[in-house]
Structure 1
């Protein structure tokens, strides 16, 4: 069961490492602040996690908009070049 989770987390972390790092860092601050009753650290971690999720959402949204844009197809002409390219031989 741990193996599929590990692959999923690894794929997400490799896809967007900056926002993933910010989420992990924010979660660590959130847990430390919650356990030790340090509410400033807890709120800082919570804000960092929310900011990282916003960054990830904006990156995926931008990527999705770029992928939806249709590029025109371009074809090469069927005729060959009028003369062949020169050869570079070591003489």
Structure 2
């Protein structure tokens, strides 16, 4: 069951990696309780489904903000939009 969860999360993360080519993916929230089992499954799935060049330096790590998992991601997206880099990627397709 945990392997299946890791694979399903990995598929979703792979989509994000293919769209935005992030340097790091933070995994937070309650699933961090099983991070030792989940993170390798997520990373293996991402390596299989994302573009290889995007996976070369990609880090998938657990987030220290366990209880408020959406805050760091929202802050990073907000910063990227203000910097213009993310906005240009979205506009360019």
- Per the TM superposition, whether the score is higher than 0.5 is no
Q: Which has the higher contact order (CA 8 A, sep 6+)?
A: 2
Q: Which has the higher strand share?
A: 2
TM-score by length of 2: 0.29
